[in-house]
Amino acid sequence: MDWDNLRYFLEVARCQRISLAAQRLGVQHSTVARRIQALEQELGLRLFHKSTVSGYSLTSDGLNLQQRLEPVENRLLAARDALAGKARPLSGTLRLGCTEAFGSYVLTPLLSQFQACYPDLTLELLPVPRPISLSRRDADLAIALERPQRGPYWCTRLADYNLRLYAHADYLSAHPPIEQIQDLSQHRFIAYVDDLLFSDSLRYLEEIVRSAPVRFRSTSVIAQYQATLQAQGLAVLPCFLAQTDPRLRCVLPEQIELRRRFWMFCHEEQRHNPSLTRLWHYLKHAVQERQALLDGA
């Protein structure tokens, strides 16, 4: 396959606009459209849903292609940096904003490994239960549950992850058995504060059991995790947070599984920052290597 066609495809997949992709690539709008059409004809696949309102959104085949291409792109960019002599020691400060549990339990170990390779680089991690605003310069790099819908951002899908229903072993032994979803109506739950949710993707219980009796609420998933450890009730938790804790039991694992996605993005002007691009490609590779943890395997 023609790598230029693939490169143009990746740019359109990230910004969802032909005109913006052309601007970033430094070519004409018609050139990008022609490249995308050529790639779709070569593969015999439809890669984008095209809309005058929402722009170019990936089809399932397009998403599959993006997931396969990005590791190749990462290796090419790393090779380019090394050959161009850019693999010099990095310095300065980078601030990374992300969701609370992912930042604390997945990213922190990864960032420690990254910093061991670049000891002159200072990293600031903001794992917070709220959205990070790059327009207000809250951070240089953000990882969020939702892709930014507008703005001059460089964006990529970082990883998908699973959530399941968990309870402490002591809670399960003291309450009626749970053999099917209907049995959940006899139990109490731990959840987010509804009117303070920063993303609709956090409305987990609505997908499992309606009118669930919630006895403890918190804006913090780590607080929910701690409440679950105190045997206060059932909670939907990320597998990367709960699956490795032997005190917790997964409830109805064959029937209840939710899947969500992390997006990573930065401001367009930061795209050529050597420190940020090095961290960007490192995280893409390192998080992909930990997909089993995110899946709760």
- pLDDT higher than threshold 90 for residue 264: yes
- Give the model's confidence band at 87: pLDDT under 50 very low, under 70 low, under 90 confident, else very high: low
Query: Judging by beta carbons within 10 Å of its beta carbon (0-12, 13-18, 19+), is residue 31 exposed, middle or buried?
Result: middle
CA dist., res. 22 & res. 29, Å (int): 5
| Confidence label for 141 from pLDDT (cuts 50, 70 and 90) | very high
Q: Which domains does the chain have, with CATH numbers?
A: 3-69 (1.10.10.10), 161-259 (3.40.190.10)
Tens of pLDDT, residues 151-210 = 788 888 999 999 999 999 999 999 999 999 889 988 999 999 988 877 888 888 888 887
Instruction: List the Cα angle 173/241/290 in 5-degree steps.
Output: 135
Q: How many residues does the chain have?
A: 297
Give the residue with greater pLDDT, 254 vs 131.
254
- Which residue has tokens 């951070």? 139
Q: Between these two residues, 118 and 106, which has the higher pLDDT value?
A: 106
Q: What pTM was estimated for this model as a whole?
A: 0.71
- Quick one: CA dihedral 86, 75, 120, 102, positive or negative? positive
- Work out whether the CA dihedral 111, 113, 114, 116 comes out positive or negative: positive
